[in-house]
Amino acid sequence: MISLKLKAPAKINYLLNVIRRRPDGYHDLRMVMQRVDLCDDISITLQDTPGIKVTCGKKGVPDGPGNIAWKAARIMLDIADAKQGAAIEITKNIPVAAGLGGGSSDAATVLMGMNELLELKLSDLRLMEIGVKLGADVPFFIFKKAALAEGIGEKLTAMPDMPKAWILLVNPGVHVSTAWVYRTLQLTNSGELNRLPQLFASVEDLCSIFSNDLETVTIPAFPVINEIKQNLLRLGAVASLMSGSGPTVFGLFRDLLGAERARSELSDNTGWFVAVAETL
Ligand code: ATP
């Protein structure tokens, strides 16, 4: 029996511009994304008998073929033309449907893990091509660097030397449907996009790009998102923003102590998920 224990990190978006709707129903985006060290734990065990078993036990996340990690494992077993199967256990620490890319990260981690276990030796580029069919954010997690993500999210350019920062993640637990957010979005973009700095020399440089077009949909419908943003600024965050299609909001802090102080304030009596994370 061969197994691997792996970490699947969450991501945050410092920038999310929606450029246009595409005829295929997707949107062309411009995003700046970075991974943070809030991780799902994944164990993958190759088995002598065929079939894939995913156990997760988290409300809202399917255990069987509906799980994106199951689909990732199926693709890799098919490529290997393997007689074996796989048992995958996922401990979800990343909030679900939260704008933190948890499912995509699980899928990317399973693609990379199965590549190793099955000794397929597929390149990261090939894994990214496979991954984009599972989800637009999957290639980013295989890329493993802070990135400018264009197209539907699969055209990745590394953003080197990101300033070190601490992140406070706050999820109010309201249900926001990603499909509804994109459907409701009024595209106002004239085609003119702000130039992005080549590199971010300071935390201020990084914060200067903070913007998420999807907040125009989510904040009016869920005022708690703005309430969290304001709370984070009041508690010392240099900037705060909603990640992805929400509802998770994050604040960027210069130091761990500041982030921890804000965490303990916001954890009290709110019922919100609150966690400090380090950028990766
Ligand atoms: P993104 O930021 O890419 O929009 P998200 O963080 O908003 O993603 P996910 O947590 O990836 O959303 O979950 C989206 C949906 O995918 C959930 O409703 C869930 O039922 C389904 N799903 C399938 N597999 C998984 C998985 N391994 N982890 C989380 N969700 C999964």
Task: Kindly report, residue by residue over 53-82, the tens digit of the pLDDT.
Answer: 999 989 889 998 999 999 999 999 999 998
Please, is 40 exposed, middle or buried when counting C-beta atoms within 10 Å of its C-beta (0-12, 13-18, 19+)?
buried
Q: The CATH number of the domain where 118 resides is what? A: 3.30.230.10
Last residue of a domain, one of 105, 138, 158: 158
Most confident of 52-66, 155-169, 217-231: 217-231
Contact by Cβ (8 Å): 274, 232: no
Residues 85 and 182 both lie in one domain: no
Q: Is the pLDDT of residue 230 over 70?
A: yes
Last residue of a domain, one of 158, 184, 209: 158
Longest dimension (CA), the chain: 57
Q: What is the pTM of this model?
A: 0.93
Counting the structural domains of the chain, the total is: 2
**Which amino acid, one-letter code, is at 197?**
P
Nearest CA to ligand 1 atom 31: 103
Nearest CA to ligand 1 atom 21: 61
What domain range is 21 assigned to? Answer: 2-158
- Distance (angstroms) between ligand 1 centre and the Cα of 195 equals 31
Residues 75 and 189 both lie in one domain: no
Please give the DSSP secondary-structure letter assigned to residue 2.
Answer: E
Query: Does any ligand 1 atom lie closer than 6 A to the CB of residue 130?
Result: no
Atom of ligand 1 nearest to the CA of 68: 24
Q: The CATH number of the domain where 202 resides is what? A: 3.30.70.890
Residues 192 and 230 both lie in one domain: yes
Most confident of 5-14, 15-24, 152-161, 198-207: 5-14
* Average pLDDT estimate for 142-157: 94
Q: What is the pLDDT of residues 91-123, one digit of tens each?
A: 999 999 999 999 999 999 999 999 999 999 999
Contact by Cβ (8 Å): 5, 109: no
Which residue among 36, 96, 182, 242 is best mutated to probe the pocket of ligand 1, counting the most ligand atoms within 8 A of its Cβ?
96
Residues 144 and 203 both lie in one domain: no
Bridge pairing between strands 273-278 and 166-171: antiparallel
Q: Is the pLDDT of residue 224 over 70?
A: yes
Residues 187 and 73 both lie in one domain: no
Query: Does any ligand 1 atom lie closer than 6 A to the CB of residue 176?
Result: no
Last residue of a domain, one of 123, 158, 193: 158
Q: What is the pLDDT of residues 206-221, one digit of tens each?
A: 999 999 999 999 999 9
Residues 130 and 262 both lie in one domain: no
Residues 57 and 180 both lie in one domain: no
Give the number of other CB atoms < 10 A from CB of residue 182.
16
Query: Does any ligand 1 atom lie closer than 6 A to the CB of residue 246?
Result: no
Residues 170 and 207 both lie in one domain: yes
Q: Is the pLDDT of residue 191 over 80?
A: no
| Separation between Cα atoms, residue 255 and residue 140, nearest integer Å | 26
Residues 175 and 249 both lie in one domain: yes
Nearest CA to ligand 1 atom 23: 67
Contact by Cβ (8 Å): 1, 272: no
Beta-sheet strand order (sheet of 273-278): 239-242, 249-253, 166-171, 273-278
Residues 92 and 199 both lie in one domain: no
Nearest CA to ligand 1 atom 11: 103
| Separation between Cα atoms, residue 235 and residue 215, nearest integer Å | 21
Residues 119 and 218 both lie in one domain: no
> What are the strands, taking DSSP E only, across 48-165?
51-55, 85-91, 147-151, 155-158
pLDDT for the residue numbered 82? 86
* Average pLDDT estimate for 147-155: 94
Residues 53 and 16 both lie in one domain: yes
User: Which position has the token pair 């999210």?
Assistant: 153
Peptide bond into 223 cis (omega under 30): no
